[in-house]
Structure 1
Amino acid sequence: MALIYIFDDEAGEPALHVKGEMHKYLIKVRRHKEGDEISFRSRENIEILHKYKIDVVEPRSAELSLLSSEQLEVKSEKPLHVGWCIIDANSIEKVLPSLCEIGVERVSFIACDRSQKNTKLDFKRFQRIMEASMQQCGRSTYIEFDIYKNVEEFITKFPDVNVFDFCDETPKDYGAIKRVLIGCEGGFSPKERELLSSLKRFRLNTPMVLRSESAVVAVASKIVL
């Protein structure tokens, strides 16, 4: 897939000197040539989109000149906060690009009773995965990540959360949901269900049982898109 823009810490400078893997991608893979225009963003000022023109292409490098810079924030118009009970880190990483593309604003990871124990979440790795997705979909904001030690701590802070669970309720307006809690494999424990009993619950209109990672993508898509 072609990149909508490219991260470069020098983006915004009057000229860019491209070499190495970036040169290989732009010139050999994407077959860009002199005169082509390419968009860049820097991590420090990510809200600004810089457009460059390729002036010179050499066998191992390329020279680009700045054409324009504009403030252009690209994000979802429907902010969604997902409370997600912790599952295997590899499974989380597989769906992060989808959550990024859908436009999820924040993901709070929660150590639930049935979460896999000793799972370590590498937020720096998550950021690298997000950046690859952001360059492809055009998004200019990062997903915010945080962690909660249990369900009780999370719902105490966010009592307005809607719980995705086994029930009879299918919302008439998914877009009205701003915050959702999704369980891990095996669902919520009896103790957690008691804590959640007073909160709004809902399900999707499907007879199939979804894995946690399938549920988070399906629910986010239903609410945001």
Structure 2
Amino acid sequence: MIRLHVPHDLAAGVEIALDEGQSRYLAAVMRAKAGDELRVFNGRDGEWRAIVGQVGKRAVVLQLIDPARPQATGPDLDLVIALVKRGPLETIVEKAAELGARRVRPVITERTNADHTRVDRLRAIATEAAEQTGRLDVPEVLEPVKLERVIEGWNPGRRLLFCDEAGDARPVLETVTEGGPWAILIGPEGGFSPREREMLRALSFATPATLGPRILRADTAAISALTLWQAAVGDWRSWPQGQSPA
């Protein structure tokens, strides 16, 4: 079943003219024709059944039929990731969306080996991943800021899982034992500087944890940490057995 994220309000009988990219995808790639059924969601009104009403030269028009699933959101989990090269960063954003992160916050650290990124492309990747995985929301991807600025504005009610490769921290599954708002912090390929590590370990809301005896690439570390967090306190534990989002 094709799923599309749209910005429009969703209600029975509403007609939606898709943007150029989505229209091209349906008409040229999926060869959609009038009467074909698909699903749409906007992150607010749940998931709706829709049918293709018109396939035009400039736009595909959908007609909404009825709701398929009520709106729901996943765990309140941020991924704070140091900027890395384009390929690994795009993989991280895609997998963060698949693994249920609510936000992705790129940060600039002292050893960051990339100084810019195309946030618009990262947001498009997050949207596509949400469409493919059955999510009813799209994770927010924020503009990159310096790590110090993020920490200065931090809400102490959100626990910070600081993945520290120093080797003297406890494993994630031993440190993450309760739910609530969390964030996972992954450093750059060169690791955190001694000054940054000292700063992070002094934070009352930060919990250092290790991802094992090997030094992991940033993309591997992000995927591993998200998976372990989900297994410990995330919605993997609460999803009804045998129930499918499709």
Q: Determine the structure 2 residue equivalent to 1:4.
A: 3
CA distance in 1, matches of 2:92, 2:32: 30
Match of 1:93 in 2: 90
- Out of 64, 70, 73, the position equivalent to 1:72 is 70
- Answer whether contact 1:87 1:184 (CA < 8 A) is retained: yes
Q: Which residue of 2 aligns with 1:165?
A: 164
Tell me the C-alpha RMSD between the 2 structures: 3.6
Q: How does 1:1-225 map to 2 (within 5 A)?
A: 3-7=2-6, 9=8, 12=11, 14-15=14-15, 25-26=25-26, 30=30, 36-42=36-42, 46-54=44-52, 65-69=63-67, 72-76=70-74, 78-116=75-113, 119-144=115-140, 145-151=142-148, 153-154=150-151, 157-158=154-155, 160-166=159-165, 167-168=167-168, 169-170=170-171, 171-172=173-174, 174=176, 176=178, 178-198=182-202, 199-204=206-211, 206-224=212-230, 225=236
Name the TM-score, length of structure 1 as normaliser: 0.75
Matched residue SS, 2:197: helix
Task: Report the residue type matching 1:196 in the other structure.
Answer: L
Instruction: Count matched residues.
Output: 219
TM-score normalised by the chain length of structure 2: 0.70
Please tell me the residue identity of whatever aligns with 1:195: M
Q: Which deviates more, 158-167 or 213-222?
A: 158-167
Percent identical = 21
2:40–2:48 contact (8 Å) kept in structure 1: yes
On the 8 A contact 2:119/2:143 being kept in 1, the answer is no
CA 1:59–1:141: 2 relative to 1, 3 Å: closer
Q: Which amino acid aligns with 1:103?
A: G
CA contact (8 A) 2:88 2:218 kept: no
In 2: Cα distance, 1:104 partner to 1:212 partner: 16
Q: Taking structure 1 as reference, are residues 82 and 66 closer, same or farther at Cα in structure 2, changes over 3 Å only? A: closer
Task: State the distance in 1 between where 2:117 and 2:57 align.
Answer: 40
Specify every segment of 5 or more residues in structure 2 that has no aligned partner in the other structure, as ranges. Answer: 231-235, 237-246
- SS in structure 1 at match of 2:184: strand
1:164: Cα distance to partner? 0.5
Q: Deviations over 1:85-136 (max 9, x none)?
A: 222244212221111111111222221110125x223322222222211211
Structure 1 unmatched ranges of 5 or more: none
Tell me, yes or no, if the aligned pair for 2:93 and 2:104 is still in contact at 8 Å: no
CA contact (8 A) 2:35 2:52 kept: yes
Larger Cα-atom Rg = 1
Does the residue aligned with 2:73 lie in a helix, a strand or coil? coil
Q: Which moved more, 1:89-98 or 1:153-162?
A: 153-162
Amino acid in structure 2 at the alignment position of 1:215:
A
Q: CA deviation at 1:49?
A: 2.7
Task: Give CA-to-partner distance per residue, 1:58-88, whole Å, 9 cap, x none.
Answer: 9999775432146732432x22122222222
Following superposition, the deviation at residue 149 of structure 1 comes to 1.9
